[in-house]
Structures are given as structure tokens and as C-alpha cells.
Structure 1
């Protein structure tokens, strides 16, 4: 399993923790739920997801260049 470490401001963390409790999830579970589209995307999460996808595409491109 890959591990992702992100920094979030205190207000966003409190919001995520509160919503995790409401949905009976862990903090990780709440983040995954939001990233998978079960919740309307916030601009922050949309930007984070776009950044993660771009990094993944760059990594894959590097990996395929190294194999060639």
C-alpha cells in the first residue's frame, strides 16, 4: 500500500474529523469517501486530487522511459 502524507490547516482538519464522526468513519475513511466522489468536491480536494494524478502520471512516464 502506498502512503500519502499531506499538510492541512487546522480548520480543514477539524471539519474532516467532525464529518468522519458523523459518518462513523476514521479520518482516513472520510478523506477517501470525499476523494471517491461520495461528497461534493471542495475546491481544495479537487486541487489535491489533480495534483496527485499529475504526480502519478509523471512517475509513470519516468518509469516507462527508464524501461525503454
Structure 2
């Protein structure tokens, strides 16, 4: 059962090309490391929902989704 206080963020790392649009949209959740690899918080607070949804829309390869 999901915690209503947090989100379930899922990133398909096989699809992710490190474009970084998610980092611009939700920097508290997504960061590119020094090698350009995506690091992310899989269970950010629900207050990040709007920014995560923006990151999902901006991802050029549709690698991000919200779980249930």
C-alpha cells in the first residue's frame, strides 16, 4: 500500500539518456551526477507532485512515470 505522504517515482534507466529536463523541473527529486547519470529520489514527498508531473511531461524519451 502506498504512503499518501510520498510519491512513487519510477525511472526506466534503460530509456534515460541524461537530457536533464527532469532536473530543471524537479531539482529536489532528480539530479545528474558528474558522469551525466541520473540520480533520483524514488519516494519524494507528495508536495513535489506538480514538479514531478512537469518532469514527466518534459522527458524527451518518456523514461519517468508515477507508480501507484
Higher normalized contact order (CA 8 Å, seq sep 6+, divided by chain length)? 2
With normalisation by structure 2, the TM-score equals: 0.27
Q: TM-score, normalized by length of structure 1?
A: 0.27
- More strand per residue: 2
Larger Rg: 1
Q: Which protein is richer in helix relative to its size?
A: 1
